[in-house]
């Protein structure tokens, strides 16, 4: 089964910029950006980010507010703050042996860095990979990681798997089986998440008086370290 997947990926795999590097910092940037964000949206932002801050040291030297401002539009803005904090730790002390010690780096992101940057035989299992593993009942090596991600994102999708086009269909015990959709997050429109996002967008443009903003959203952002409130004025952190 793994050889079938490998042959398919050799001709059909997606050409993504983070697949052309083994720099752990670049891999970290891509993995944090890709969390809950579509690949198509991430590609141009990833390229722009690395053009501005090509190394962990370059990002660490910048104010955290600049990282937050550059992140605008990707959502889940704490990822920007975690990335900046991680860059500062790497710049100060190097890459830790246990990568989960870095801010924002959980077991999956640590596995991705170990696999894609260091070439270790560790399979990073995201939701797409987990779905393919579950449906095929097969164990794959780390060399198939990118292929598994592509297969799960294109053919072995959650609601309507495209089994007729899947390279593994002839050997897959779940061929033609559909799964119940996972409950989605509530709508963004009108949510507190939208209020936070709008407030942060305003503050990213320029500092504002607290009285002119949504105070509940400001206090939530302040608790996350995404804004600072001083003398009644709300700004990005220095």
Q: Indicate which residues carry an active-site annotation.
A: 31
The alpha carbon torsion through 166, 169, 172, 176 (nearest 10 deg) reads 90
Distance, CA of 199 to CA of 202 (rounded, Å): 5
Residue 214 makes CB contacts below 8 A (sequence gap 6+) with 195, 198, 199
* Secondary structure of residue 76 in the 3-state scheme: coil
Q: DSSP letter at 185?
A: P
Q: DSSP letter at 234?
A: E
Q: DSSP letter at 229?
A: E
* Secondary structure of residue 141 in the 3-state scheme: coil
Answer yes or no: are the C-beta atoms of 119 and 22 closer than 8 Å: yes
Answer yes or no: are the C-beta atoms of 204 and 236 closer than 8 Å: yes
Dihedral angle sign, alpha carbons of residues 16, 24, 59, 99: positive
Closest CA to 83 of 47, 27, 29: 29
How much helix, strand and coil, in percent to the nearest 5, is found in the chain?
60, 5, 40
């Amino acid at each position: 089964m793994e050889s079938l997947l490998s042959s398919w990926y050799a001709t059909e795999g997606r050409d993504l910029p983070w697949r052309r590097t083994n720099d752990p910092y670049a891999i970290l940037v891509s993995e944090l950006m890709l969390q809950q964000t579509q690949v198509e949206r991430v590609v141009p932002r990833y390229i722009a980010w690395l053009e501005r801050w090509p190394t962990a040291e370059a990002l660490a030297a910048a104010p955290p507010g600049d990282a937050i401002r550059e992140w605008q539009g990707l959502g889940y803005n704490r990822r920007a703050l975690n990335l900046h904090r991680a860059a500062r730790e790497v710049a100060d002390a190097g890459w830790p042996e246990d990568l989960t010690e870095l801010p924002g780096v959980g077991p999956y992101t640590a596995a991705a860095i170990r696999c894609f940057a260091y070439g270790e035989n560790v399979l990073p299992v995201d939701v797409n990979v987990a779905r393919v593993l579950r449906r095929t009942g097969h164990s794959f090596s780390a060399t198939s990681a990118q292929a598994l991600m592509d297969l799960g994102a294109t053919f072995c999708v959650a609601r309507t798997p495209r089994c007729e086009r899947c390279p593994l269909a002839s050997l897959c015990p779940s061929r033609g089986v559909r799964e119940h959709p996972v409950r989605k997050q509530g709508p963004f429109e009108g949510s507190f998440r939208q209020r936070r996002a709008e407030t942060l967008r305003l503050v990213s443009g320029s500092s504002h008086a607290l009285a002119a903003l949504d105070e509940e959203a400001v206090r939530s952002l302040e608790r996350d370290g995404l804004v600072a409130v001083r003398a009644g004025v709300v700004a990005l952190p220095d």
